[in-house]
Amino acid sequence: MATESEGEEDVGRLTGNQYLVVDGDLREMTKKAAWSVSSCKPGNGVLPLRDDNLETYWQSDGAQPHLVNIQFQKKVKLQLLVLYVDFKLDESYTPSKISIRAGDGFHNLKEVKTVKLVKPVGWVYISLSGTDPREAFIHTFMLQLAVLSNHLNGRDTHIRQIKAYGPRPNPIPNQPFHFTSTEFLTYAALR
C-alpha cells in the first residue's frame, strides 16, 4: 500500500501514490470525530481536509509545528492514516517530516511514528501498527498529526486530505469467530 523509496538511507521515506486504495476490511473512522487545527488561513481550515476535493487544502498560519487534532467520542482502533499532499503544486508548503501521536487527550499524547516525505505527490499511507506483528492497530481517543518541517524550509503547510482507517467490526455481534467470506457469513447465524 505505502510507496516507500528503496535504499538504506531512504528507509521509512514516503513518496505518495496517485490512487487511494484501501483494503476492504478497513473503514474510514473519522466521519464522526471532532477535528481541530493549530492555525489556519481564513477559508483554509478543517473543512477542506474533509471535503473529498483534492483541489482544496488546509493551510497553516504560524510557527511550526502545525497540528491537526482528531478526537473521538469513544476509544477506537486505528490501523492506517492516509494523507493527500502534492509537492508539484505546493512546493515549499509540502510537509517533509510528520509526527503521529496518539493518546486519551492533549495531556498524554505519545508519539506513534515519525515519517519523512520525499517530494510526495498523491496519497501517502502511514501504517499506525507497531513493529510487533500482533499490534495491528492502536487504541486511542485522540490522534494528532504534527508537521515538524516542510520541503525547501517552508514555513506554512498545505495538506489536501486526511483519512484514518480502522478494522471493520464483526458484522455478527457476540460471535466468537470473525467470518470474512460471503459463504461463511451466509451460514453464520440461525433464523
Is residue 151 predicted with pLDDT exceeding 70? Answer: yes
Q: Where are the domains of the chain?
A: 8-186
Distance CA 45, CA 8 (A): 37
- Weakest-pLDDT range from 40-54, 71-85, 144-158, 177-191: 177-191
Residue 20 clears pLDDT 60, i.e. is over it: yes
Q: DSSP label at 152?
A: G
Classified as helix, coil or strand, 44 is coil
Per-residue pLDDT for 73 more than 90?
Answer: yes
Query: What is the average pLDDT value for the chain, to the nearest integer?
Result: 85
pTM recorded for the entire structure: 0.79
Looking at residue 46, its amino acid is V
Q: What is the rounded average pLDDT of the residues 182-190?
A: 69
Count the neighbouring beta carbons within 10 Å of the beta carbon of residue 91: 14
Q: How far apart are CA 99 and CA 129, in angstroms?
A: 14
Residue 32: alpha-carbon gap to chain centroid:
15
Quick: pLDDT tens for 75-92: 999 999 999 999 999 999
Question: Strands 80-86 and 161-167, how do they pair?
Answer: antiparallel
- Assigned fold of 8-186: Jelly Rolls (2.60.120)
- 71: its cell numbers: 478526537
DSSP conformational letter for 17? B
* CA distances, 3 to each of 11, 13, 16, 84, 139 (Å): 11, 9, 6, 13, 25
Beta bridge partners of residue 115, listed in sequence order: 98
Pairwise CA distance, residues 88 & 178, whole Å: 43
